[in-house]
Amino acid sequence: MNLEFKPIALSDQTTFQTFLSQCPQMTSDYSFVNVWSWASAYDLEWAQTDELCWLRQNHPTPQYWAPIGNWQAIDWPRYFERFPQFKSSMIRVPEPLARLLESVFNKRVSVSPDRDQFDYIYDVNELITLKGNRFHKKRNLLHQFHKNYDYQYVVMSSELVEAAMAMQNNWCTWRECDSDVQLENENMAIAKVLSNWERLDGIIGGCILVKGIMVAYTIGEQLIDDTLVVHFEKGNTDYKGVYQAINQMFIEHEASDSSGTVSGMRRVNREQDLGDEGLRKSKKSYHPIKFLKKYQIDFQVN
């Protein structure tokens, strides 16, 4: 049976979220904000069956991502009889689905870990308090930021979007985004999110202003009940400790109540490192408590 794949539109977010809410595990890749904002970079399209939603990237090569929906409710052999085109290969497959397909199809499927796509998961308390020797350098830089700058932390709002866009444009100039495909794609994704701030369900963010000038911002959302995901985080490194500051302040504001105790969210998902060594070093430096592993699935040709 052929399915019609179509571009992912902002108007699709309610339907998409319905499928996503049924997933036994949600990784950062599959949030609507992530899929929709990066759709142009990967030429992502989607299609629906009664049971599942499928994502297909067409750039740089055609690939299916893992489907979203209730994986455990699917009769997989029968499903692939109906939709044989999906019984080829998949990327970014969360571990529960990878293990499920491995148990169903045994030696007829190859399951390979994709380390570059593993999501980094952190403990909320650790990122707020930065206690212990492991976080000494982070804590010291945060204290320096507190001491050296007359700053204000504010919640991202539509009124601050223009300032965030200006800071992002400056950041891209500093980092020469136009000579780096990944940074240029990220810049377009950020612009897309900021330009549609009020239309995105569940989007949250925080900003740091120094004497009225935006020096850092972050964008995220509550992925599941106990997990805050950070999609984008940018800072002006002329301000020493700015990244440590926006990281800590955003999480403290969004994941704790007025008394300073953690309320609801216990984990922070800071997404994957995509194999970038600098990014991997940075993410490791905050001491993740675990990874959400993802795999490539390849079915044997019958």
Residue 276 within any structural domain of the chain: no
**Residue 187 binned pLDDT confidence (cut-offs 50, 70, 90):** very high
**Residue 60 binned pLDDT confidence (cut-offs 50, 70, 90):** very high
The span from the CA of 251 to the CA of 264, in Å, is: 12
Residue 279 within any structural domain of the chain: no
Residues 111 and 195 in one domain: no
User: Which residue type occupies 95?
Assistant: E
Q: What is the mean pLDDT of the chain?
A: 94
Residue 95 within any structural domain of the chain: yes
Residues 98 and 239 in one domain: no
Residue 283 within any structural domain of the chain: no
Residue 100 within any structural domain of the chain: yes
Q: What are the φ/ψ torsions at residue 177 (nearest 5 degrees)?
A: -60, -35
Task: For residue 83, count other CB atoms closer than 10 A to its CB.
Answer: 17
50-67 mean pLDDT: 96
Pair 1, 82: CB distance under 8 Å: yes
Pair 7, 55: CB distance under 8 Å: no
pLDDT tens-digit map of 138-147 = 999 999 999 9
Residues 74 and 143 in one domain: no
Residue 97 within any structural domain of the chain: yes
Residue 96 within any structural domain of the chain: yes
Tokens in use for 192? Answer: 């897309």
pLDDT at site 3: 85
User: Which residue type occupies 160?
Assistant: L
Place of tokens 């897309």: 192
Residues 133 and 267 in one domain: yes
Residues 165 and 112 in one domain: no
Q: Where are the alpha helices (DSSP H) in 176-210?
A: 181-195
The residue among 295, 206, 230 whose CA lies nearest residue 28 is 230
45 exposure class (CB count in 10 Å sphere: 0-12, 13-18, 19+): middle
Tell me, what CATH number does 111's domain have? 3.40.630.30
Residue 106 within any structural domain of the chain: yes
List CB contacts of 276: < 8 A, sequence separation 6 or more: 182
In the chain, what percentage of residues exceed pLDDT 70?
97
pLDDT tens-digit map of 79-127 = 999 999 999 999 999 999 999 999 999 989 999 999 999 999 999 999 9
Residue 44: half-sphere exposure toward Cβ, Cα within 13 Å: 22
As for how many domains the chain has, the answer is: 2
The residue among 121, 113, 124, 123 whose CA lies nearest residue 91 is 113
Side-by-side strand order, sheet with 151-155: 151-155, 203-210, 213-224, 227-235, 267-269, 119-123, 290-292
Range of the domain at 99: 6-118+294-299
Residues 54 and 69 in one domain: yes
**Residue 258 binned pLDDT confidence (cut-offs 50, 70, 90):** very low
Q: What are the φ/ψ torsions at residue 83 (nearest 5 degrees)?
A: -130, 70
36 exposure class (CB count in 10 Å sphere: 0-12, 13-18, 19+): buried
Residues 124 and 107 in one domain: no
Pair 105, 79: CB distance under 8 Å: no
Residues 69 and 178 in one domain: no
**Residue 259 binned pLDDT confidence (cut-offs 50, 70, 90):** very low
Residues 123 and 252 in one domain: yes
For the cut 80, the answer to whether the pLDDT of residue 130 exceeds it is yes
The residue among 31, 26, 114 whose CA lies nearest residue 71 is 26
DSSP 112-152: EE-GGGPEEEEEHHHHHH--SGGGHHHHHHHHHHHHH--EE
In the chain, what percentage of residues exceed pLDDT 90?
92
The span from the CA of 122 to the CA of 271, in Å, is: 11
Place of tokens 């539109």: 9
pTM over 0.85: yes
pLDDT at site 225: 87
Residues 107 and 152 in one domain: no
Residues 12 and 141 in one domain: no
Task: For residue 25, count other CB atoms closer than 10 A to its CB.
Answer: 12
pLDDT at site 261: 41
pLDDT tens-digit map of 229-240 = 999 999 999 999
